[in-house]
Amino acid sequence: MQVSIDQDRCCSSGQCVTTVPEVFEQDDHDGLVRLRLTVLAPAHHADVRLASELCPGGAITVTEDGTSA
């Protein structure tokens, strides 16, 4: 699994940070999402998928086995 962020689509709602604070954080200056980890442990996969679904701006893309979800 890979996760990427489109900061141009981020609306700083913080849903991702609330859902998986181990993986996502918000920038102190502009509130935009940032990744805390570059390699995701399998234990985070389900929560990262949920964070992607909850993101109101659609800023989080999850890619598994060559396809985006």
Residue ranges of domains in the chain: 2-68
Band (pLDDT 50/70/90 cuts) for residue 64 is confident
| Structure confidence at residue 45 (pLDDT) | 96
- DSSP per residue over 8-45, as a string? TT-----HHHHH-TTTEEE-TTT--EEES-SS--GGGH
Architecture of the domain defined by 2-68: 2-Layer Sandwich (3.30)
Summarised one tens digit per residue, pLDDT across range 6-57 is 999 999 999 999 999 999 999 999 999 999 998 899 999 999 999 999 999 9
Q: Taking the complete model, does pTM exceed 0.75, yes or no?
A: yes
